[in-house]
Amino acid sequence: MNPVLTIPAFGPVLPEIILAAGALVLVLFGAMRGERSEEGMNIIALALLAVAFVAVLMLPGERVETMNGSFVIDGFAKFMKALTLVASAGGVILSMDYMRREGISRFEYPILIVLSTLGMMMVISANDLIALYLGLELLSLSSYVIAAFDRDNVRSTEAGLKYFVLGSLSSGMLLYGASLVYGFTGNVSFPAIAGILQGQVGIGAVIGIVFVAAGIAFKISAVPFHMWTPDVYEGSPTPVTAFFAAAPKMAGMAMATRVFIDAFPNIVGQWQQIIVFISIASMALGSFAAIGQRNIKRLMAYSSIGNVGYALIGLAAGTVEGVQGVVVYMAIYLAMTLGAFAVILGLRRGKVMFENIEDLSGLARTHPVLAFCLAMMMFSLAGIPPLAGFFAKFAVFNAAINANLVALAIIGVVTSVIGAYYYLRIVKVMYFDEPAAAYDAMPAGVKLVLALSSIFVVLFGIVPAPLVAAAGAAARSLF
């Protein structure tokens, strides 16, 4: 008998198809219009991301597999894809005025953002090791280019090269780990791997899981694979740094959660200790290493490392409540990060960008609204109630305690207190030091991102139910 040709269902892949087709249209449009297309390209890219966002919301809530089981849509994928698209749109909006002023506005930039976002969405829905790797490489290759987008700037080109070299190493580690897992299970599909790996597993499979965890840890800039983060964040153009700190973090945490919860649900004891170690190391380094930083972008790099450590507490719990904590944490982290970088992008006078903490001196007297918004972001990142950051940390700490990881939760609280020092130091500089300089008016797009982020951070404590309920539904879809 002739085999029956089955055509995969493309409905669940509609957002990815929109971005892929849109990227091709953008390439043609940019090639035909040349430098005249720069402004239009950003608008079209934002429209693409918005259409993809609507398509994500229209996807079915129940679990659906397609592409021969390599691509999955469920509540968790929908939620994380929505966050990723919001983060990417924020990155495009924050970059529009900056790129024009710096003279590096080229039509390729929004195309690379769209392609990178496409890779992130593939990673979030990957249901086997091959699809995971393909999505990860699409994300990574686009990221290497935009890190070095200011090609006449030595720091930017160095950041791109460092990111490329270390990223290639991490991709090799992930691929090696995936090959070991495949070799000892005979499958690349996450559900099939989960069915085989139960109870006590062989040392070879454990080593494979360790290498997979190492590759994932690099992508989310977790210790001990964080070494690229401060230099790449400092050297990249500031809107690119904002993009790196927001969008890939959403996809990376979604990838980590899906891999460990979907592929290794029956051997939590084997991978939980890896996640606990990475979490503790990330929180500790993020708290202590940021204390001596003078550059705001480097400080935000160490802050992102620490925040990844806190989010991993929820994953280490390995429960529905833990995954819900991860989702809530990442949503709040997204708002805090975009808001903080919106303020950083507003620290400009003429063609001079200010990036040192001392440049914030007396900001409360010269720009009181800007200072208030940044202070709210810093208080929230420090986890001070009643701002959103407090509830984010409470969600993951509570999940850890309920999963009998009390020591991990205590370490998280201690490192959070230590990390509060450098957040509060920024507030002290803004409100108690003598004014250093006045800054130009913020572009409308940057104001919009800052306003939305500030409203979310301040008001989340009053109306937390919608986000918490949506995160709970997303977490339950994985189990």
Model confidence at 2, in pLDDT bands (50, 70, 90)? very low
What is residue 346's predicted lDDT score, i.e. its pLDDT? 82
Say which residue, 292 or 37, is predicted with more confidence.
Answer: 292
Q: What does each C-alpha distance from 304 to 222, 235, 283 come to in angstroms?
A: 9, 16, 10
Mean pLDDT to the nearest integer, 438-448 = 81
On whether residue 233 sits in a domain, the answer given is no
Average pLDDT, integer, range 38-52: 87
Query: Helix 108-125 vs helix 14-33: angle between axes, to the nearest 10 degrees?
Result: 170
With H, G, I as helix, E, B as strand and everything else as coil, classify residue 387.
Answer: coil
**C-alpha to C-alpha distance for 445 and 447, rounded to whole angstroms:** 5
- For residue 443, is it within any domain? yes
Identity (one letter) of the amino acid at 435?
Answer: P
Is 60 within a domain? Answer: no
Count of residues for the chain?
Answer: 479
State the Cα–Cα distance between residues 218 and 220, nearest whole angstrom: 5
Do the domain assignments include residue 363? yes
Give the three-class secondary structure for 71: strand
Return the pLDDT at 6.
Answer: 52
CA 464 and chain centroid, separation: 21
Q: Is residue 476 part of a domain?
A: yes
The string of pLDDT tens digits covering residues 327-346 is: 999 999 999 999 999 988 88
At 1 the pLDDT is 42
- Residue 3 pLDDT greater than 70, yes or no: no
Which are the contacts of 3, defined by CB distance < 8 A and separation ≥ 6? none
Q: Burial letters for 167-195: b for 16+ Cβ neighbours within 10 Å, e otherwise?
A: beebbebbbbbbebbbebbebbbbeebbe
* Residues 107, 85 contacting (CB under 8 angstroms): no
Residue 66's DSSP bridge partners are: 71
When the pLDDT of each residue in the chain is averaged and rounded to a whole number, the result is 88
H helix or E strand, kind and range, residue 477: none
Question: Would 41 be classed as within a structural domain?
Answer: no
Q: pLDDT of 136-179, one tens digit each?
A: 999 999 999 999 888 888 888 888 898 998 888 889 999 999 99
**What is the distance between the alpha carbons of residues 283 and 174, in angstroms, rounded to a whole number?**
23
Give the range of the structural domain holding residue 418, as residue numbers without chain letter.
Answer: 267-479
What's residue 89's pLDDT?
A: 93
Contact call for residues 92 and 114 (beta carbons, < 8 A): no
pLDDT at 264: 87
Query: Partners of 189 in the beta sheet?
Result: 128
Q: Which H or E element spans position 315?
A: helix 296-317
193: pLDDT strictly greater than 70: yes
pLDDT of residue 8: 61
- Alpha helices (runs of H) in 186-292, residue ranges in sequence order: 190-196, 203-219, 229-235, 238-258, 268-288
Structurally, the chain folds into a number of domains equal to 1
Predicted local confidence at residue 406, as pLDDT: 92
Whether residue 331 lies inside any domain: the answer is: yes
What is the per-residue pLDDT across 202-237, written as a single tens digit (0 to 9) for each? 888 889 999 999 999 998 989 888 888 888 998 888
126: in domain: no
